Structure 1
Amino acid sequence: MIETINKTDFAYSRMFLNNEEGFNNYSQSLKIIEKKLTNFLKGNHSPYSGKKPYEIEARLSGRSPASLKGETLEAVADELAEFVINDSINVHSPACIGHLHCPTLIPAVAAEMVIGTLNQSMDSWDQSSSATFVEERLIDWLCSQVGLPEQADGIFTSGGTQSNYMGLLLARDAYCKKFWGVDVQQHGLPVEASKLRILCSEAAHFTVRKSAAQLGLGEQAVITIKTDANHRLSIDELNHQLLLLEKQGLLPFAIVATCGTTDFGSIDPLHELSEAARKNGIWLHVDAAYGGAMILSKDYKDLISGIERADSITVDFHKLFYQPISCGAFLVSDSNSFQYIQHHADYLNPQEDEAEGMVHLVNKSVQTTRRFDALKLWMSLKVVGLDTFAEMIDYTCHLAREVAVKIDKEEGFTVLNKAPELNAVVFRYNPEGESDQLVNLLNKQIQQELLKSGRAFLAKTRFEGQVYLKMTLLNPMTRLEHIEDILDEIRVLGEMFKMMEE
């Protein structure tokens, strides 16, 4: 006879939230971790510790990722602070202005604790219950904010890569069904698929090419369109390419408009692109991972006018919505578009459940298991409020314009986008009379030294073969004086490195 085991006597009972010992451990654990994080952030205005990659790797190489008998959380937290937290990028620093990598709102961080503790899986209703309807309600609200029609729908995603992939997946399958009567889910791609083409600007995100490859079309299916002086897709060039494709017997099925390019924050002409798409029977996908936040803006919302005419849209919340990574959404103008990714499993989302009011969000996602990321945005919108969101977003755009004007007036600097649309400024230290080769080297050295010293984190990029620095001014706590200090540092470092090279 097998003896009944009293599991509450096991040592691991305190590791779970279903008994008094576990509840006490939970509370203590949160306090311990909170203290470590507060110690790191409080009074720390530096964006980075300055350690080089090999130094961090060497420090961690001697640490075991597991223990046989278990250690106290206090001991592990001490190790965490020393070897991980203290050498992390401090995204909350006003001088951390490199990538599209935002500081996080406190309500969203609090929501992360709820998400992790409740551990809802957003694939089926019986794993997420009320969370399902929170996400659906938020998607409805987002579609309304964008201006999409009543039949619009959407799903939360991990971010722009997944959302862009979904847009092109649905566009491909809709085209195959409409023009060839082929169900790609059931029968795969027809032989004619080798003629399918995607049009986007030369400044579009790399995930357009990546998606084309993953969709079995190959990167050669992506036709890039030249940009104008403001780094926006040229409509004249687009129309020219459409005529060429027609003559070549090739089949454009999707146009990707970029609403906030990674380097310049430029926004493609959405109205003109929607007209071209409809005239030619082409799916319009808008990659608004960066610029989608303008739906909350008061001063710059007109910049994305026309986005409501898209067939599908990418929006990221871990950029200008100030949410912890990862948090994004994919929206479609017609909920029927999700038919191309629906699959029913008897154990998870049987069709008969729908008649009983069970909503299974897996029907709209390329993921199965998903986190309850919608809660982060829900709590932020409720606590922070739409007016404050607008103020934060508009402030950063105002600041970028002010910064671009200031740098343009500085001797020894060159600004590429003198009138930024969003909040990215691309420039470089460019002392008069020096060769491009030397200037490229100087800007690389300046960027690396600023990060190494912990004084500032700027990104570097290339434009027409030349090296530039980039400020991505997402943080509403960054002030003009922070930028002025960084420019002074750049000038000093530039002169120092120039003397070393001479």
Structure 2
Amino acid sequence: MSLPPLASGPEGPDALRPLLATVLDALHTGTQARRGPLPAGGPAAVAARVRDAVGDVLPDEGDPQALHTLVQALAEGAADPAHPLCAAHLHCPPLAVAVAADLAASALNPSLDSWDQAPAASELETLVTRALAREAGMADALVTTGGTESNQLALLLAREQHGPGLRLVHGANAHHSLPRAAWLLGLPTPVAVPTPTGTLDPATLDDTLTRLPGPVLVAATAGTTDAGLIDPLPDIADLCATHGARLHIDAAYGGGLLFSDRHRPRLTGLDAAHTVTLDLHKLGWQPAAAGLLAVHDPSELTALHHHADYLNADDDTDAGLPDLLGRSLRTTRRPDILKIAVTLKTLGRTGLATLVDQVCAHAQTLADLIRQHPTLDLYDRPTLSTVLFRPTGAPDAAVAALRRHLLTDGHAVLGRAHLDGRLWLKTTLLNPHTHPDHLAALLKAAEGNTPT
């Protein structure tokens, strides 16, 4: 029996070519079989189809058709973020060039925990992270798996600077990963400031900071998960300076506005933060994962230093081998920076700005269509690319049932958000190829079909 071929090395490209053809054919076949943004039938039907395709997970004898069979099953049973009616979550359709770069990263398989496993990748990561940090007014950045890891790292760095008594203050609109990170790190119970208008109110925050003993970390949000709103960053930064509080800004969603001259001013005040969360598998069109934590003071990263003689021996470091172990809490780490670097270089600032401007314009168009619709209510004008709406007069239970009905039938993928005391259907428009007729079809799926 011959040994299976490897993806890297001199023979790697030749081994990959027929397999790529198989994968592309299976993706096409599976997508055609799905025929919509989501597989029809709901969880039970999808699970049954997957079980049928997989069969024996670990058979005695291998199946040479397994690659095609399982990729096709996954594509047929996928929520397709490139489908214009798949608009529920911050789940972007990745750019083809980024996916192609990700294939190279997988084939070469460098691990960024020591220089001798990733010589070129480590230098590429240094160049790109610092460039992206400068875009946010910061000095350096670490690559993470996304907003959750970035937020946790931000709290960890703050704790190491200010001690275990550090108290997190965040708006009720903040991402769930922030209070969860406080719990994981053993910090005092966070203080959640009410956000009845959807964003942090400076007067309420001022009162909270006046009453709280220090040290305090304030977490503001630039792009809330539910409605895509941006906290008043300049006012919050001023309050933090007045009260001596540390500031972290979670810009996992809104950080993509940095690429757009038109929308970048909405992030004024971002550079006043001590740390900033960015996430390019949202408004950056990257395959997951593509997160970053940008820091204002690179010296704070020394808190992450860790010694393992087989990875960063002192004499190796003294001899000039870069120490990578303090660049993450993870050890083995794939080169997610490659796809980001390829995207930045291929599209440039202008190309990325076009994508950002396009999806924000789509949101405004959808809001206009909802305002003109006789049986749908709009929550508010969109700030980013998220639009909330609901059938006029429908009770919350009916709105929830409508969403599940659309999911089960595979007609449309809409999210949900509870704001202003009511349940809203949520669309997060991240597909720059969407057209107005797609937006009209999205509303057509929801109009007049509210299950009772």
Class of the TM-score when normalised by the shorter of the 2 chains: over 0.9
In structure 2, the residue corresponding to 1:11 is in which secondary structure?
A: coil
1:85-234 equivalence runs, <5 A: 85-148=75-138, 152-176=139-163, 189=164, 193=165, 196-217=166-187, 221-227=189-195, 229=197, 231-234=198-201
| Alignment equivalent of 2:355, drawn from 392, 398, 401 | 392
1:483 aligns with 2:439: yes
Candidates 330, 351, 356, aligned match of 2:319: 356
Secondary structure of the residue that 1:84 maps to in structure 2? helix
Query: Is 1:423 equivalent to 2:390 in the alignment?
Result: no
Task: Report the 3-state secondary structure (helix = DSSP H, G, I; strand = E; otherwise coil) of the residue aligned with 1:492.
Answer: coil
SS for the counterpart of 1:198 is strand
Instruction: State whether residues 423 and 474 of structure 1, in contact with CA within 8 Å, keep that contact through their aligned partners in structure 2.
Output: yes
Aligned mates of 2:96, 2:136 — CA distance in 1: 25
Larger Rg: 1
Is it true that 1:64 corresponds to 2:64 in the alignment? Answer: no
Q: Is the 8 A contact 2:134 2:140 kept in 1?
A: no
CA RMSD in angstroms comes to 2.0
The counterpart of 1:377, out of the listed 340, 343, 346, is 340
* Paired residues for 1:217-296 under 5 Å: 217=187, 221-227=189-195, 229=197, 231-245=198-212, 250-296=213-259
Q: Paired residue for 2:414, among 429, 447, 458?
A: 458
**Matched position secondary structure for 1:104:** coil
Match of 2:284 in 1: 321
Higher mean displacement: 447-456 or 379-388: 447-456
Per the TM alignment, residue 23 of structure 1 is displaced from its structure 2 partner at its CA by 5.3
- Using the aligned pairs only, state the percent identity: 32
CA distance in 1 between counterparts of 2:240 and 2:111 reads 37
Gap runs ≥5 in structure 2 = none
SS in 1 for 2:247: strand
Secondary structure of the structure 1 residue equivalent to 2:371: helix
Amino acid at match of 2:195: T
Please state how far the C-alpha of 1:25 moved relative to its aligned partner: 3.3
Deviation string 1:62-88 (CA, Å, 9 cap, x unpaired) is 52222223221xx11342145322111
Name the CA distance, whole Å, in 2 between partners of 1:310 and 1:352.
Answer: 36
Change (3 A) 1:440 1:16: closer
Task: Judge conservation of contact 2:39–2:46 (CA < 8 Å) in 1.
Answer: no
Letter in 2 for 1:140: R
Gaps (5+ residues) in structure 1? 1-9, 177-188, 432-437
CA distances 1:167-226 after superposition (whole Å, capped 9, x unpaired): 0110111012xxxxxxxxxxxx5xxx3xx31111110000011101100125xx211112
Given residue 201 of structure 1, which amino acid in structure 2 is its aligned partner?
Answer: G
1:449, distance to aligned residue in structure 2 (A): 2.2
Give the Å deviation of 1:251.
Answer: 2.7
The yes-or-no answer on 1:312 pairing with 2:272 is: no
TM-score, normalising length: structure 1: 0.85
Stretch of structure 1 that moved more, 89-98 or 40-49: 40-49
1:185 match = none
Instruction: Measure the CA separation in 2 of the matches of 1:104 and 1:41.
Output: 16
Tell me by how many angstroms 1:347 deviates: 0.8
Tell me the TM-score normalized by structure 2. Answer: 0.94
Whole-angstrom CA distance in 2 between matches of 1:454 and 1:59 = 15
Aligned to 1:435: none
Contact 1:255–1:283 (CA under 8 A) maintained in structure 2: yes
Tell me the amino acid that sits aligned with residue 12 of structure 1: L
Output the CA distance in 1 between the equivalents of 2:30 and 2:48: 21
**Does structure 2 retain, via aligned residues, the 8 Å contact 1:13–1:19?**
no
Counterpart contact for 1:45–1:95, Cα < 8 Å: no
Q: Which residue identity does 1:108 align to in structure 2?
A: A
In structure 2, C-alpha distance between the alignment counterparts of 1:19 and 1:289, rounded to whole Å: 39
Q: State the distance in 2 between where 1:143 and 1:16 align.
A: 33
Residue 39 (structure 1) aligns with = 29
Instruction: Confirm or deny: 8 A CA contact 2:30 2:74 kept in the other structure.
Output: no
Distance 1:334 1:212 in 2: 21
Cα distance change on mapping 1:153 and 1:15 into 2, 3 Å: closer
C-alpha distance in structure 2 between counterparts of 1:331 and 1:473, whole Å: 26
Q: State the AA in 1 paired with 2:392.
A: N
Seen in structure 2, the aligned counterparts of structure 1 residues 406 and 24 have a Cα distance that, compared at 3 Å, is: closer
Q: 1:442 — aligned with what?
A: 398
Question: Which stretch has the larger CA shift, 350-359 or 372-381?
Answer: 350-359
Range with bigger deviation, 60-69 or 267-276: 60-69
Greater shift, 291-300 or 452-461, is seen at 452-461
Q: Say if 1:161 and 1:207, in contact at 8 Å, map to a contact too.
A: yes
State the SS of the aligned residue for 1:53. Answer: helix
Report the CA distance between 1:395 and its aligned residue.
1.4
Deviations 1:124-183 (A, max 9, x none): 1111001001011001111221222xxx2111110000000000110111012xxxxxxx
Q: Which moved more, 1:380-389 or 1:161-170?
A: 380-389
Contact 2:222 2:250 in 1 (8 A): yes
Question: How big is each residue's C-alpha offset from its partner over 1:42-78, in whole Å with a ceiling of 9 and x where there is no partner?
Answer: 7976211213112222333452222223221xx1134
Distance 2:352 2:321 in 1: 34
Instruction: Determine the structure 1 residue equivalent to 2:67.
Output: 77
Contact 2:23 2:68 in 1 (8 A): no
Q: CA deviation at 1:306?
A: 0.9
| 2:31–2:76 Cα contact (<8 Å) kept | no
Contact 1:159 1:316 in 2 (8 A): yes
Residues 171 and 253, structure 1, Cα contact 8 Å, conserved in 2: no
Aligned to 1:12: 3
CA distance in 2, matches of 1:390, 1:42: 32
2-structure distance, mates of 1:13, 1:56: 31
CA contact (8 A) 1:153 1:332 kept: yes
Distance in 1 between the 2:338 and 2:250 partners?
23
Write the letter of the residue equivalent to 1:415.
Answer: L
Aligned length: 450
